[in-house]
Structure formats: structure tokens, C-alpha cells
Structure 1
Amino acid sequence: MNVLFLCTGNSCRSILSEAVFNRLAPVGLGAISAGSQPTGQPHPRAIALLRSKNIPTDGLSSKSWHDLPVTPDIVITVCGSAAGETCPAYLGPVLRAHWGLEDPSHVTGSEEDIAAAFERTYAIIVARIEAFLALPLAQLRETPAALKAELDRIGNLLPA
């Protein structure tokens, strides 16, 4: 099963999601990320955060959804709809869910404020991906509506 984490710029939230998913997922599950208008490179703070968590960053890149190496089974958008940000709509016969995240790269203020925003985003991503991976995926794949409902539920989870 292939999961696509999709955002507009594919530089921060979707990159973090791809890396965390691939670090935590068992064999047979994989993630990629892409953007509708990729920035061309991952955000340096996103890469630094992943490295600080000992998550591999080799091969991570900001890329267009037109250049996907595989067809995804599930597309999860991670744009922050609460901020009025428009998420791209992937056009294809796949299951879709939205896990809105505010973009930590837009946070201004002190170094501590910015670092805290990145850590918070990371914690939300980890909580949601752990919940995703805890699902009985083999069973839920038989009923796409039930899988969609679970993915939508997970999109509202916040870490404790």
C-alpha cells in the first residue's frame, strides 16, 4: 500500500509526514510526498528536525505530483485549512483524507517559538501516523468507506 502525503509546496509538512511514515511503517507500507506547486527543496528546519529524531532524510525532495514514482492507494492532504490555505485536489481514483496541519515554516517570532511550532507539527504527525498504523488495514481495505471514516477521524487527532 502506498500513501501520498500531499501539500502545495511539498517542503515541510508533507516531507515530515513521508519521512515519519516510512520510519514507522512495516514492510509493505510506504509513503511518498508531493506538491501541486513544489518549492524545489525541503525546508531546512524540517530536515534538521528529522535528523534530530534520527529519521533518515536521504532521498527526500520537494517534487511535483506529476512526477510520482508509483500510483498512490491513499492520498492524505496536510495543508492547514483553518488558515484559509487551499489544498490541492489529487485527481485519481484513490481514497482521500485530510489531516490539516498549520505550516510551521510560516511561524515568526523567537527561535524558541519557531522550534516549538516545528516540534508541535512533528508530534501531531507522529500521533496520526501511529494511529493509522494501528488500524486493521487488511480488514478495512475491504470496506473503503470504513477506512475513509477512520482516516478522517485520525485527521482530527492531537497528541496528548
Structure 2
Amino acid sequence: MTDKRFKVLFICRKNAARSLMAEALLRRWGMGRFEVYSAGPEPLDQPNPQAMELLRKVGIETDTLHPKSWDLFAGTDAPVMDFIFYACEDTAKLHPPHWPGQPMVAQWNFPDPLSLQGSDIERHALLNLVFGMIERRVKIFCALPDHRLAKLTAADMSDIATGEHAA
């Protein structure tokens, strides 16, 4: 394990459910290896109450989770991310702001649990399903050893490009 804490940003349009759940789950399962954030281009004023209740039911603190604009993570004063994951397909299609550095960007598309027009039971079931999908993806990401994660970051990629990387 290295001393580096990888910076991760989860993006979703409203930053009210999927990206906030991903942020909370990576904090839990990352065991201090990651500095985790979430944001969106059209953040709501408040997180989705059902998503926050689900997180609390599994023992995850939600007091610090709140929707944020992705503009906070763009520009020269923004923290330099190692990884940016889009949690929804429609946001990945938008023209994003300029991310400082050269983060690895990937799509982790999950269904929108807020868009289902069904009964309370159906909406709750979809939210639980999406939560499980996000948790599985986060656990797989956490299972990657630090040296593998470092190979995916811009700093290590520049070392490879200049021939300074030791295998």
C-alpha cells in the first residue's frame, strides 16, 4: 500500500442519489485509501430522502452528504482528481467543464431510481437494486491494489510516457 490517497469524483446530473450513494460507499469500503467527492451539473437543493434513509439503514453516516455543482471541481483552484466516474449516462453525454490534471474518466451507468413512475414498493425496490449495483462496483474498485490504481492515474501515465516508470 502506498501513502497516496486517490482522489475520486462521482458525477450525476442532480447529485441527489446515485453519485451520493457512490461517494458514501467508497468512503466506507475504501478504508481511507480514497478522498471521495460527488457533484453534478444541475444539483438539487437537498439529497433524495429515500437514498439517505437507505444509507442510514446500512449504517452509513449521511450528515455530510449534499448535492454540489461540478463547477467546484473545475478550474485552477479545484482539487486534482485521479478518477472521475459518471454514475448516469445522460450526464456523461454533456460537455463537462475542464477537469484539472488528467484524471481517468469512466462511465458507471446506473438506472435512475428517482425517475421510476411506479408504486412506492416499486420505487423502493429499484432504489435497493441500484444501491446494490453501486456497492458491487465500488467493492470491485476497492479490491484493486494501490499499484494497479496508480498505473491508471495521470501521474503514473506520464512516467510511462517519459520512460521513467519502473515495472
Q: Same fold (TM over 0.5)?
A: yes
Q: Once the 2 structures are TM-superposed, how far is the Cα of residue 27 of structure 1 from its aligned partner?
A: 1.8
Aligned length: 142
Residue 148 of structure 1 is matched in structure 2 by none
Partner Cα separation in structure 2 for residue 130 and residue 115 of structure 1: 22
Q: Once the 2 structures are TM-superposed, how far is the Cα of residue 71 of structure 1 from its aligned partner?
A: 2.6
Question: Given that residues 4 and 74 in structure 1 are in contact (C-alpha distance below 8 angstroms), is that contact kept between their aligned partners in structure 2?
Answer: yes
Partner Cα separation in structure 2 for residue 96 and residue 20 of structure 1: 19
Residue 53 of structure 2 is matched in structure 1 by 48
TM-score by length of 1: 0.81
Q: Once the 2 structures are TM-superposed, how far is the Cα of residue 143 of structure 1 from its aligned partner?
A: 5.0
Identity of aligned residues (%): 33
Residue 163 of structure 2 is matched in structure 1 by none
Q: CA 1:143/1:41 → structure 2, altered by over 3 Å: closer, same or farther?
A: closer
Residue 82 of structure 2 corresponds to residue 73 of structure 1? yes
RMSD after superposition: 2.0
Question: Given that residues 15 and 39 in structure 2 are in contact (C-alpha distance below 8 angstroms), is that contact kept between their aligned partners in structure 1?
Answer: yes
Q: Once the 2 structures are TM-superposed, how far is the Cα of residue 40 of structure 1 from its aligned partner?
A: 2.0
Structure 1 residue ranges, 4+ long, deviating more than 6 angstroms after superposition: none
Which of the two has higher C-alpha Rg? Answer: 2
Residue 130 of structure 2 is matched in structure 1 by 121
Question: Given that residues 75 and 90 in structure 1 are in contact (C-alpha distance below 8 angstroms), is that contact kept between their aligned partners in structure 2?
Answer: no
Residue 31 of structure 2 is matched in structure 1 by 26
Residue 103 of structure 2 corresponds to residue 101 of structure 1? no
Residue 83 of structure 2 corresponds to residue 91 of structure 1? no
TM-score by length of 2: 0.78
